[in-house]
C-alpha cells in the first residue's frame, strides 16, 4: 500500500510547509495496473486571498501524467527542481508511473521526453484525452479522480509482461539500498555490463543509472535534514556511501540549491513558524 506523505515525503522540499499549504492524498492502482503504475496522487488547496505558495519538488525517476483544470500533460523525468505555484483554490490528479512503466504507452525511448512536457493528446490521441479530461472534471473528490485515471489506463495497458518491469524492479532496488552509490557495483550484481545498463536505463527510464542512484541518495539526505538541524553530516555521508562529507555537500547543493545544513535550518524554521501560530 502506498505510504501517506507523513511517512514518505521524498521529493517534496520543505515538507512541513507543504503540508500546511495543500492536501496531498495518494491512492494505489488496481492490481492489474500495479506493474506499470506506482501511485495516483491528488493535490487540493484553498489559500487565502493574496497568499501564493511556491512548492519545490525533486521529482522521482518516473513519468507523471497530471490532470489540471487547464488540461492534462505528460511529464518526462525532470532533472532539475520543479516549482509549482499555488494560489486561490484548485485541485489536480497525478499518475506516477513505475520507473519504466510509461515506456509501453509512449512507444519509444523515455529519454526522448526527459525534461519535456507533452500534451496528453500527443500520446493518447485528442478524443481519448478530451474524454479523460471531461471525466476528471466531473469526478466527485480525489478518490473518484483516481478511479477515472485507473479506468483510462486499464483500457490502454498492454496485457503481456513488459521488458521495463525488470528495470522498474532494479530502480526500486536502488531506492531500497541507501549505501549503493556506484554503477559498476550495480552492474556486477545484475551480471550486466555498465554500457548495457546505460542503454537499458536510457530507453526504459529516461535517465542514467548514475543519475537514479544519486537522486535516491539525495532523497535520504533531504529527509534526514527535514527532521532537524542536529544531523551529523559526516556520519550521514558515510551511511549513504559517499567518500566524505564534502562529496555529499556538493551533490546535495547541486540538486537542492542549498547546502544540507542550510536546508536543515530552513526546514527547522518552517516548523517553528507553524508551531508558533
Q: Over the stretch 139-187, which tens digit does the pLDDT of each residue have? A: 999 999 999 999 999 999 999 999 999 999 999 999 988 778 889 989 9
Question: What average pLDDT does this structure show over 69-74?
Answer: 95
Mean pLDDT of 54-67: 96
Domains of the chain, by residue range, sit at: 15-154, 164-275
pLDDT of residue 229: 64
Query: What would the pLDDT profile of 204-240 be if each residue is shown by its tens digit?
Result: 999 999 999 999 999 999 998 888 667 889 998 988 8
Look up residue 56 and give its DSSP letter.
E
Helix (H) or strand (E) holding 39: strand 37-46
- Contact in structure between 36 and 157 (CB atoms under 8 Å): yes
Instruction: Kindly state the percentage of the chain with pLDDT values over 70.
Output: 98
- Nearest Cα neighbor of 168 from 262, 34, 2, 1 is 34
Residues 6+ apart with CB under 8 A from 77: 59, 60, 61, 62, 63, 110, 114, 115, 205, 206, 207
Q: How far is CA 51 from CA 10, 90, 220, in A?
A: 25, 14, 31
- Report pLDDT for 139: 96
Residue 277 has pLDDT above 70, yes or no: no
Calculate the CA 154 to chain-centre distance: 21
CATH number (3.40.50.300, 1.10.10.10, 1.20.58.1880, 1.10.10.60) of 164-275 reads 1.10.10.60
Greater model confidence, 232 or 77: 77
Q: Is the pLDDT of residue 276 over 70?
A: no
The mean predicted confidence, pLDDT, of the chain is: 93
* pLDDT value of residue 227: 83
Q: Are 167 and 204 in contact (CB under 8 A)?
A: yes
User: 67: part of which helix (H) or strand (E)?
Assistant: strand 64-68
pLDDT at 271: 80
Residues 63-85 have a mean pLDDT of 96
Give the whole-angstrom CA distance, residue 275 versus residue 277.
Answer: 6
pTM value?
A: 0.93
Of all residues in the chain, the percent with pLDDT exceeding 90 is: 81
Amino acid at each position: 500500500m502506498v505510504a501517506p506523505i507523513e511517512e514518505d515525503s521524498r521529493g517534496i522540499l520543505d515538507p512541513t510547509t507543504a503540508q500546511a499549504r495543500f492536501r496531498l492524498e495518494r491512492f494505489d492502482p488496481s492490481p492489474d495496473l500495479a506493474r506499470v503504475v506506482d501511485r495516483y496522487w491528488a493535490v487540493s488547496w484553498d489559500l487565502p486571498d493574496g497568499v501564493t505558495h511556491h512548492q519545490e519538488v525533486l521529482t522521482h525517476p518516473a513519468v507523471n501524467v497530471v490532470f489540471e483544470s487547464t488540461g492534462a500533460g505528460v511529464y518526462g523525468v525532470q532533472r532539475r527542481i520543479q516549482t509549482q505555484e499555488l494560489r486561490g483554490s484548485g485541485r489536480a490528479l497525478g499518475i506516477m508511473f513505475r520507473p519504466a512503466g510509461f515506456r509501453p504507452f509512449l512507444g519509444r525511448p523515455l529519454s526522448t521526453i526527459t525534461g519535456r512536457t507533452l500534451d496528453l493528446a500527443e500520446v493518447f490521441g485528442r478524443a481519448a484525452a478530451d474524454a479523460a479530461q471531461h471525466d476528471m472534471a466531473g469526478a466527485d473528490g480525489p478518490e473518484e479522480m483516481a478511479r477515472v485515471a485507473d479506468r483510462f489506463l486499464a483500457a490502454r495497458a498492454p496485457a503481456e509482461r513488459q521488458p521495463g518491469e525488470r528495470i522498474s524492479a532494479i530502480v526500486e532496488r536502488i531506492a531500497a539500498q541507501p549505501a549503493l552509490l556506484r554503477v559498476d557495483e550495480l552492474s556486477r550484481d545484475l551480471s550486466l555490463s555498465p554500457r548495457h545498463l546505460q542503454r537499458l536505463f536510457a530507453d526504459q527510464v529516461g535517465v542514467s543509472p548514475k543519475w537514479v542512484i544519486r537522486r535516491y541518495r539525495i532523497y535520504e539526505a533531504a529527509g534526514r535534514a527535514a527532521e532537524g538541524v542536529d544531523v551529523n553530516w559526516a556520519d550521514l555521508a558515510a551511511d549513504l556511501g559517499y567518500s566524505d562529507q564534502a562529496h555529499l555537500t556538493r551533490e546535495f547543493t547541486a540538486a537542492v540549491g542549498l547546502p544540507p545544513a542550510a536546508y536543515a535550518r530552513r526546514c527547522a524554521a518552517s516548523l517553528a513558524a507553524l508551531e508558533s501560530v
